[in-house]
Amino acid sequence: MRCLGIYVLAGLVATSCTVGPDFQRPAAPAVKNYYAKPLAVDNQRFIEGANIPAQWWESFHSAPLNALVQRALAANPNIDAARAALLVAQETAAAQRAAFWPQISTNLTPTRQKIADNLSSPLNTPTNPFSLQTAQVNVGYTFDVFGGTRRQVESLEAQAEFQRYELEAARLSLAANIVTAAVQEASLRSQIAALGKVVTLQEEMLGLTRRQAVLGGLAEAGVISQEVALAQSRAALPPLQKQLAQTRDLLTALAGGFPDKELGQSFDLEHFELPKELPLSLPSTLVEQRPDVRAAEAMAHAASAQIGTAFANMLPQFSINANIGSVAANIGDLLKNGNGFWSVAGNITQPIFEGGALSHHKSAAEAAYYQAMAQYRATVITAFQNVADTLHALEQDANALHAAMAAEQAASRSLSIARRQVELGDTSRLTLLNTEQFYEQTVVSLVQTQMNQYADTAALFQALGGGWWNQTALPLPPEG
């Protein structure tokens, strides 16, 4: 008992020791800008250091879009799966914390046995066979002397943090996909409408050219050329209609629905307003805001804690076990004096030879940590690349939009002149139809450039992290 007390005391004194490295959060990269030269975007303004709202999609001022995003966040099965994965990780970490407490169990063991006659004693065994009732309480406790259990809990808690950020990444990706698909639907509707007008114009033009050919005012080659142009425009419609149908199916699936039921929302470009002011997070805060970066950091933390667990497994393990109980022939006699028993035992286990397994486990844990840190650095670089790519895309979108608007405005003026000339008898109906066809083609180009700018604006919100830290349920942890 005296030796046992010494062992227990030694274990309690050493419990504060925790082997292995203490995880230090990586410092933010010393990067001042997302680009090498200033951006030239004149129809949108970047507000450096501005905060990003949690419901960033509301910046497009589209009530149908807001309703669809909220529906998807509540009904999408991938979000439900991410929530369940977070709960699994949290409960697993909570289960591991139970190792800090003694393990207590109780059992009742009724037995009926017969001893061989040549082994039994008539003085001690009045009946043979006979019954025994044994009741006892068992208590076991393993001292976390070198912090192996604490490191294991630390690792599991970090894995729960990983799932926490994975959930936010899933929410962000879902919202961005819905915004992009909604804008694409709106663009496709406008393109189909404009191309339909082109087809109508070309049909009328074909009728005019055929009449001119019959009257001898136009060669047959001119008719064939117009037939080819009409056929090409008609052939361009089915792919757009297919994309529109598939985009609708995508939006339905993202909202957690099946394609046999039509969405309650439909989208036209008039439903959207391009955000004129865009928040641009400081480079030093990007690693705090991107959920994928925070998830990679959490995995590095988990790997770091596993080094301590592997190291602790190489050191002595201290445990104590005790039980107290009673044994009697009848259950009613279990509490009588003289039937009780108890025992207390201490145990120290020191691995001596396991073929190098423990050392290799520790080396593997260290390599896993280096791997996780490398993946973290790669994720950070990708995050900065995403922001830079999006900013450059917005810059070129603005340039393309200027060119498309200039072309549309020039085509509109040309169409106005052609209509006045027809009214005055200065030009033919065929010339007017050609001008109208050209104008509708510039409308298609303008719609496509508008879609690109809307989609890249949504991509910027996603690249910056999407404002998840502004949710009251998930605040942004402090730096350091």
Domains of the chain, first to last: 18-100+145-315+358-470 (1.20.1600.10)
Gap between the Cα atoms of 216 and 18, Å rounded = 99
Q: pLDDT at position 7, please?
A: 45
The terminus-to-terminus CA distance of the chain in angstroms comes to: 48
Do residues 463 and 387 make contact, with C-beta atoms less than 8 angstroms apart? yes
Q: Does residue 239 carry a pLDDT above 50?
A: yes
Q: Does residue 469 carry a pLDDT above 50?
A: yes
User: How do residues 302-360 score in pLDDT, each as one tens digit?
Assistant: 999 999 999 999 999 999 999 998 988 888 888 888 888 889 999 999 999 888 999 99
Structure tokens at 471: 């949710």
> Residue 34's closest CA among 46, 52, 50, 51?
46
Q: pLDDT at position 354, please?
A: 87
Q: Which of the residue ranges 170-184, 271-285, 375-389 would you say has the lowest mean pLDDT?
A: 271-285
Q: Does residue 13 carry a pLDDT above 90?
A: no
CA distances from 266 to 41, 67, 89, 262 (A): 30, 11, 39, 10
Characterise 219 by phi-psi region: left (phi > 0), alpha (psi -120 to 50), beta (else): beta
Calculate what percentage of the chain has a pLDDT beyond 90.
Answer: 61
User: How do residues 409-419 score in pLDDT, each as one tens digit?
Assistant: 998 898 888 88
Average pLDDT over residues 39-45: 83
Gap between the Cα atoms of 228 and 208, Å rounded = 15
Average pLDDT over residues 398-420: 89
Calculate what percentage of the chain has a pLDDT beyond 70.
Answer: 92
Do residues 148 and 312 make contact, with C-beta atoms less than 8 angstroms apart? yes
Q: Does residue 120 carry a pLDDT above 70?
A: no
